[in-house]
């Protein structure tokens, strides 16, 4: 297995490894480190984190984290804390922090292809897995490792080819990911009786290969549906984000930068979102990373979750079709009310946790202001920022009227030539392999158990509440 090879090749250790006691403390730049091997760094970190969890459980296992209300049980568990997820944490007002770092902080400290450029997603992967900001050398080593794992067996493409070309891109993508499962190292190791203490090692192997291979599978889906069906080979000179753009058929430098930013910001959004939670739940049954991630993708394919990025561009284009590009505020308001009155949601607005504008929206807006300020659809997106929130607020029931990540991504892609909205959720899916794959390694390293919450019936709730009131 590649991880065993890399361990024997790269035995060198960091002289001093800071302990992982809290995220702020363990974030550090390691530009002077000679250890370029992610696996050996993890191997060193894992025992500390296992001890940390053991201590937390022993000393504070009975501390209450809040009350569970009937509203929470029937309201999609909103606001109920119930999951351990190490790689990121979402604040309702501030938005996402990856191992304690906000998006602007990541843009500042994570290595870029060129100074001042967008962060390289490999750097974020390193950060999510280790809690440490990698040096450019570490990121380059990881880029090269991912490229070396990017070979996808032929039967994966054949499995996709068995579907009609008109099948939704997410269906084709999830089918390809399921076919990748045939090579799962975890599944093989489990069949051979690997001890629980070593589960994380083949999980690491599978997760890194999954992350390396999903751009190849995803771009095949794109080229099969929208282009000539020919596979563009991985370019050994390119990083993960730029290679993904290249595999899709885009070699423009701005598009490469966009893909780096896109993949970085869509990678992880703590554990409770539908895709991450699904991946974590399925993996808790010791399903391997491919099975778990394919399940996650099927959640991402829902219109209230990842498919919203498709819905946003289609909706924006329908606005332009009906009202033209120079739409007035009054026309826009009417169109929004028409959408709402037909029983639909305004895609790209609202969130299950966030209560302010999503910082992923803000950084995409900054990208647009820098690279495409005159794009008419970008200007429409800017106008929607002023017009939609007051209307959603007027509805009186929407908890967050502000835009989320999906409100912006489509017009950026569209500007650089990736115009096929039905494909957009696949891009989100590729990005999410980084967050879900990273956490799965920690799930195994920490020995997290089978997830199995208790459910109740209406009758049992009614009788519980009657007793509680008497």
Residue 266 is a catalytic residue: no
CB atoms within 10 A of CB 54: 12
First to last CA, the chain: 62
Torsions phi, psi for 98 (to 5 deg): -90, 115
Dig out the tokens for 71 from the structure: 């509203």
405 binds ligand NMX (CB under 6 A): yes
264 binds ligand MLT (CB under 6 A): no
404 binds ligand MLT (CB under 6 A): yes
- Annotated catalytic residue within 168, 280, 305, 415: 305
- Annotated catalytic residue within 246, 269, 277, 351: 351
269 binds ligand MLT (CB under 6 A): yes
CB 18 within 8 A of CB 28: yes
163 class by beta-carbon count within 10 Å (0-12 exposed, 13-18 middle, 19+ buried): middle
**Helix (H/G/I), strand (E/B), else coil: 349:** strand
Among the listed residues 131, 348, 359, 437, the single contact to ligand NMX using CB under 6 A: 348
Q: Which is nearer to ligand MLT, 257 or 406 (CB)?
A: 406
For residue 308, give the DSSP letter. Answer: H
Q: Which is nearer to ligand NMX, 114 or 397 (CB)?
A: 397
CA dihedral 445, 448, 450, 456 (to 10 degrees): -160
349 binds ligand NMX (CB under 6 A): yes
Q: How far is the CB of 428 from ligand NMX (least distance, A)?
A: 7
Among the listed residues 84, 314, 345, 387, the single contact to ligand NMX using CB under 6 A: 345
Among the listed residues 114, 192, 196, 397, the single contact to ligand NMX using CB under 6 A: 397
268 binds ligand NMX (CB under 6 A): no
- Annotated catalytic residue within 35, 206, 239, 406: 406
273 binds ligand MLT (CB under 6 A): yes
Contact region with ligand NMX (CB under 6 A), list: 23-31, 48-56, 396-404, 451-459: 396-404
Among the listed residues 351, 365, 415, 432, the single contact to ligand NMX using CB under 6 A: 351
130 binds ligand MLT (CB under 6 A): no
Residue 371 is a catalytic residue: no
Q: How far is the CB of 403 from ligand NMX (least distance, A)?
A: 8
CB 453 within 8 A of CB 196: no
Q: How far is the CB of 295 from ligand NMX (least distance, A)?
A: 16
350 binds ligand NMX (CB under 6 A): yes
Q: Which is nearer to ligand MLT, 269 or 444 (CB)?
A: 269
CA dihedral 203, 260, 119, 425 (to 10 degrees): -60
CA–CA gap between residue 198 and residue 51 (Å, rounded):
16
Minimal CB distance to ligand NMX: which residue? 350
Q: How many residues belong to the chain?
A: 470
Residues 330 to 369 in contact with ligand MLT, rule: CB under 6 A: 352-353
**Helix (H/G/I), strand (E/B), else coil: 112:** strand
CA–CA gap between residue 117 and residue 31 (Å, rounded):
18
CA–CA gap between residue 446 and residue 84 (Å, rounded):
10
Residue 406 is a catalytic residue: yes
CA–CA gap between residue 181 and residue 193 (Å, rounded):
19
CA–CA gap between residue 296 and residue 279 (Å, rounded):
5
CB 121 within 8 A of CB 266: no
Q: How far is the CB of 406 from ligand MLT (least distance, A)?
A: 8
* Count of residues that interact with ligand NMX, criterion CB under 6 A: 22
Q: How far is the CB of 214 from ligand NMX (least distance, A)?
A: 18
CA dihedral 362, 410, 243, 263 (to 10 degrees): 40
- Nearest CA to 257 out of 126, 388, 413 is that of 413
Q: How far is the CB of 304 from ligand NMX (least distance, A)?
A: 4
Q: Which is nearer to ligand NMX, 3 or 349 (CB)?
A: 349
398 binds ligand NMX (CB under 6 A): yes
72 binds ligand NMX (CB under 6 A): no
Q: How far is the CB of 398 from ligand NMX (least distance, A)?
A: 4
Choose the contact partner of 397 out of ligand MLT, ligand NMX, none; CB within 5 to 8 A by kind.
Answer: ligand NMX
CB 409 within 8 A of CB 13: no
Helix axes 406-415, 359-371, angle to 10 degrees: 20
CA–CA gap between residue 425 and residue 431 (Å, rounded):
10
Residues that bind ligand NMX (CB under 6 A): 78, 304-306, 308, 340, 345-352, 392, 397-400, 404-406
Residues that bind ligand MLT (CB under 6 A): 269, 273, 305, 352-353, 404-405
Q: Which residues are known catalytic residues? A: 305, 351, 406
């Amino acid at each position: 297995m590649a991880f065993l090879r890399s361990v024997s090749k790269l035995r060198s250790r960091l002289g001093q490894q800071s302990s992982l006691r809290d995220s702020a403390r363990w974030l550090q730049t390691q530009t002077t480190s000679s250890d370029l091997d992610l696996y050996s760094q993890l191997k060193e970190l894992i025992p500390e984190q296992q001890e940390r969890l053991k201590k937390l459980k022993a000393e504070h296992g009975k501390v209450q984290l809040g009350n569970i209300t009937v509203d929470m049980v029937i309201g999609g568990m909103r606001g109920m804390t119930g999951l351990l997820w190490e790689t990121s944490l979402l604040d309702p007002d501030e938005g996402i922090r990856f191992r304690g770092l906000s998006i602007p902080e990541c843009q500042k400290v994570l290595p870029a292809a060129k100074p001042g450029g967008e962060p390289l997603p490999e750097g974020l992967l390193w950060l999510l897995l280790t809690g440490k900001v990698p040096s450019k050398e570490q990121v380059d080593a990881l880029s090269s490792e991912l490229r070396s794992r990017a070979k996808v067996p032929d039967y994966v493409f054949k499995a996709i080819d068995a579907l009609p070309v008109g099948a939704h891109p997410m269906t084709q993508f999830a089918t390809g990911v399921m076919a990748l499962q045939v090579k799962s190292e975890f599944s093989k190791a489990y069949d051979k009786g690997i001890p629980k203490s070593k589960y994380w090692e083949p999980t690491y192997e599978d997760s890194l290969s999954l992350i390396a291979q999903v751009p190849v599978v995803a771009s095949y889906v794109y080229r099969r549906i929208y282009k000539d069906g020919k596979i563009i080979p991985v370019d050994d000179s390119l990083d993960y984000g730029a290679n993904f753009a290249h595999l899709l058929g885009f070699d423009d430098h701005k598009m490469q930068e966009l893909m780096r930013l896109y993949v970085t910001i869509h990678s992880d959004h703590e554990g409770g979102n539908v895709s991450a939670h699904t991946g974590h739940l399925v993996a808790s049954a010791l399903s391997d990373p491919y099975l778990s991630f394919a399940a996650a993708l099927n959640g991402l394919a829902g219109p209230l979750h990842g498919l919203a990025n498709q819905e946003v561009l289609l909706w924006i284009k329908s606005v332009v079709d009906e009202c033209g590009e120079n739409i007035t505020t009054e026309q826009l308001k009417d169109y929004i009310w028409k959408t709402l009155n037909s029983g639909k949601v305004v895609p790209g607005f609202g969130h299950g946790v966030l209560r302010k504008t999503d910082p992923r929206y803000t950084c995409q807006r900054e990208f647009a202001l820098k690279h495409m300020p005159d794009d008419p659809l970008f200007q429409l997106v800017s106008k929607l920022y002023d017009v939609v929130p007051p209307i959603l607020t007027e509805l009186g029931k929407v908890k967050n009227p502000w835009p989320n990540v999906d409100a912006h991504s489509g017009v950026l892609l569209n500007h650089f030539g990736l115009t096929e909205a039905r494909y957009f959720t696949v891009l989100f899916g590729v990005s999410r392999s980084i967050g879900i794959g990273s956490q799965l390694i920690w799930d195994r390293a920490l020995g997290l158990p089978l997830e199995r919450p208790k459910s109740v019936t209406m009758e049992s709730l009614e009788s519980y509440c009657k007793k509680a009131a008497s």
